[in-house]
Chains A and B, each alone.
Chain A
């Protein structure tokens, strides 16, 4: 199994629908992140969590919410999806005590979301 698993891999949803993207990890990392990737814009941070009780907004959190259900699980929700939220979404994890440590972030394979 992959270290960081994202579900679903692909999703098409209609405008106005609520949708949840899920992320689970087996790395034992405390820190988890949600990024979105748009062509030409690189990756932008949506939300991050440094432990189960810690949730923080990133640079583009409007229209999104998250839930850290356990150390291993971090879900991203779009409360009312809109077409400009069509993007590739990535979950990532990292070690805590030394920040990104020696190994950087571990990324999931991504969820390709299309809002029509």
Chain B
């Protein structure tokens, strides 16, 4: 079963607009990560947020984490055509030292 579920499944925006996608998960975590996948290619790690962090920035990316709601959001500001990809959240199951990432089904931007 999937630990993470992204919402929406697909998102269409204009260049220059902001894109927000959400991830919900079921069990406790040590950290949550976001990955990007260009069509049919390997996933690329974007950003990692630890369970004791609430917000993190990297360039045009902003990630928030709400452990009480077991949810995270990824905001891409001033989107570009090159941002077209699928975005996946991944969680580690909270088992420090034995982490295996479980991926959601992705949001297609």
Which A residues form the contact surface with B (CB < 8 A)? 4, 33, 35, 40-45, 48, 58, 88, 90, 92, 94, 99-100, 102-110, 112
Q: Residues of A contacting B106 with CB < 8 Å?
A: 42
Knowing A100-B33, A104-B35, the reply to whether A45 touches B40 (Cβ < 8 A) is: no
Q: Which residue of A lies closest to B45 (CB)?
A: A104
Partner of B33, one of A41, A42, A58, A104: A104
Interface of A is mostly: strand
Which B residues form the contact surface with A (CB < 8 A)? 2, 30-31, 33, 35, 40-45, 48, 88, 90, 92, 96-97, 99-106
Q: A107 near B44 (CB under 8 angstroms)?
A: yes
Q: Which residue of A lies closest to B5 (CB)?
A: A42
Q: Residues of B contacting A100 with CB < 8 Å?
A: 31, 33, 48, 92, 99, 101
Q: Please list 19 pairs of residues, one from A and one from B, whose beta carbons are closer than 8 Å in the complex, sorted by A's number.
A: A40-B105, A42-B103, A43-B43, A43-B103, A44-B103, A94-B99, A99-B96, A99-B99, A100-B99, A102-B48, A104-B48, A104-B101, A105-B43, A105-B101, A107-B35, A110-B40, A110-B41, A110-B42, A112-B40
